[in-house]
Amino acid sequence: MARPHESVVDGSEARSPVHPKDLPSVDRLLRLPAVAALLAEHGHSCVADQARQLIDRLRAQALAGALTAQALEPASLEARMGEAVRQHLAPRMRTVINLTGTVIHTNLGRALLSDAALQHLLAMMAQPNNLEYDLASGGRGDRDTVVEELLCQLTGAEAATVVNNNAAAVLLTIAALARGREVIVSRGELVEIGGAFRMPDVMASAGATLVEVGTTNRTHPRDYEQAITERTGLLMKVHTSNYAVQGFTTAVDEAEIARIAHARGLPMATDLGSGALVDMGQWGLPHEPTPREKVAAGCDVVTFSGDKLLGGPQAGLIVGSREAVGRIRKFPMKRALRMSKLPLAALEATLMLYLRPERLTQDLPTLRLLTRPADRIRALAEALQPAVQQAVAPRFDVGVCDLLGQIGSGSLPVDRLPSAGLALAPVQRKGAGRALDELATALRSLPQPVIGRISEDRLLLDLRCLEDAQPFLAQLPQLKEALA
């Protein structure tokens, strides 16, 4: 039996099984030139650990009679060590290319941060900052003050506070205003958002009792009035963000519910879900209720997300009256749900973009993508078609097509965004389903995974979110190789 250093690649010995006793030691592995280079770069612990794991894997293969001397060639061992260390040190969180057509995709990280937010985030995290330090007095400050003034200015509210996400904002609002009491909500608004966040469960977690009024499709002012008792703590409205109730429907608006609540000395809260800070209608997008409208309608509390239409980091924004927001801020649970300095810095910079509203469609990625004209997206599809066709030929045909995308994240669920992209269809009808799955897998396996969607025997790549085509084009040779 040849020792590894004596083995020959093309001799018959190269293909004969190796005995476990012929495996290299960790030390020998670490002395191979390319592995020594890895050691110098990453240190002993990391590389030696990978060497031990590689030898364990080789031993298992040898015991199964499945290891050839060829696998023990220095070049082969070096290559496997390089790959093992690279994989071990590769982050699990990676950027992907979102060609799903859904702009605010919850599974793909929702809103993209603006350059301004990224820069502010980086600057604030690299140095100590005044997160909870009052520079005027030299005493302790409150982290809410970083964004409170901006939020009040942008929504017309008297006060504002922020927490980790909007689910936390809703939970905290209910707990602070109605713990141990009843909360009245219309049956048409008992929403579930992404599985774990269901309005009845949130009520229970907050220690409040849900009182449902009206029916799924119709709720009237008298339904709220009649449900109010001495146990009532809060009247609440929830924006049905991920579904639409259509047809024979009546809902009571915030102004009316607030009037009913205030007449009985009770607070009223509304959960907007997405909550756009500006009127989306001005860009031809469907109108989404704004916090400003709801504050003006008399709501004591308005909650909304930071990373949906607002286009910022994950955050739960709470704006409203000084008295209601004050109770929320003082509630002990607030400390457990408070926002970290990372998203807070990003949120501040994102909100500041709204001080220059005319520039929003350039400066805020979410709005830039949502307002991208379909004909421009189509022109991009036409420009990319030949290169993509070349990469997936001869197994797939590539056509340019009009598509309908989505805003996403439960915003405006029934509205579709006219868009365009590429449709990749298997040339052979037989086995088309498997071919499409293979194509989708190959796209997802690229260094920067490409995520499309399969619909009606075609793989669709919606190009609305492809602002820079270069990283996509640069990977086409690898796609071609994967499909060969």
Ligand X SMILES: *Cc1c(COP(=O)(O)O)cnc(C)c1O
- Determine, following the binding rule CB under 6 A, whether residue 165 of this chain makes contact with ligand X: yes
- Determine, following the binding rule CB under 6 A, whether residue 254 of this chain makes contact with ligand X: no
* Segment lying near ligand X (by CB under 6 A), choices 237-245, 288-296, 339-347, 452-460: 237-245
**What's phi and psi for 271, nearest 5 deg?**
-105, 115
356 to 29, 114, 159, 185, 359: CA distances (angstroms):
60, 14, 22, 37, 6
Q: Binding marks (x or -) toward ligand X, 264..303, rule CB under 6 A?
A: -------x-xx-----------------------------
- Determine, following the binding rule CB under 6 A, whether residue 191 of this chain makes contact with ligand X: yes
151 token code pair: 């939020």
Edge-to-edge order in the sheet of strand 453-455: 396-405, 417-426, 458-462, 453-455
Which residues 6+ apart lie within 8 Å of 229 measured at CB?
Answer: 182
The footprint of ligand X on residues 404-423 (CB under 6 A) is: 410
- Determine, following the binding rule CB under 6 A, whether residue 439 of this chain makes contact with ligand X: no
Among 239, 294, 372, 464, contact with ligand X (rule: CB under 6 A): 239
- Determine, following the binding rule CB under 6 A, whether residue 350 of this chain makes contact with ligand X: no
- Determine, following the binding rule CB under 6 A, whether residue 103 of this chain makes contact with ligand X: no
Nearest distance from C-beta of residue 110 to ligand X, angstroms: 8
Nearest-angstrom CA–CA distance, 88 and 52: 13
Cα 192 to chain centroid, rounded? 18
* Segment lying near ligand X (by CB under 6 A), choices 42-50, 234-242, 281-289, 386-394: 234-242
SS3 7: coil
- Name the DSSP letter for residue 411: B
- Determine, following the binding rule CB under 6 A, whether residue 193 of this chain makes contact with ligand X: yes
- Determine, following the binding rule CB under 6 A, whether residue 167 of this chain makes contact with ligand X: yes
Nearest distance from C-beta of residue 196 to ligand X, angstroms: 10
* Size of residue set near ligand X by CB under 6 A: 16
> Which burial class, exposed, middle or buried, applies to 166 when counting CB atoms under 10 A from its CB (0-12, 13-18, 19+)?
buried
Q: 36 or 190: whose CB is closer to ligand X?
A: 190
* Segment lying near ligand X (by CB under 6 A), choices 13-21, 33-41, 120-128, 161-169: 161-169
Q: Are the C-beta atoms of residues 85 and 38 closer than 8 Å to each other?
A: yes
Which residues 6+ apart lie within 8 Å of 288 measured at CB?
Answer: 274, 275, 276, 280, 309, 411, 412
Q: 232 or 274: whose CB is closer to ligand X?
A: 274
Please report, as ranges, the residues that interact with ligand X according to CB under 6 A. Answer: 165-167, 170, 191, 193, 197, 238-239, 241, 271, 273-274, 305, 316, 410
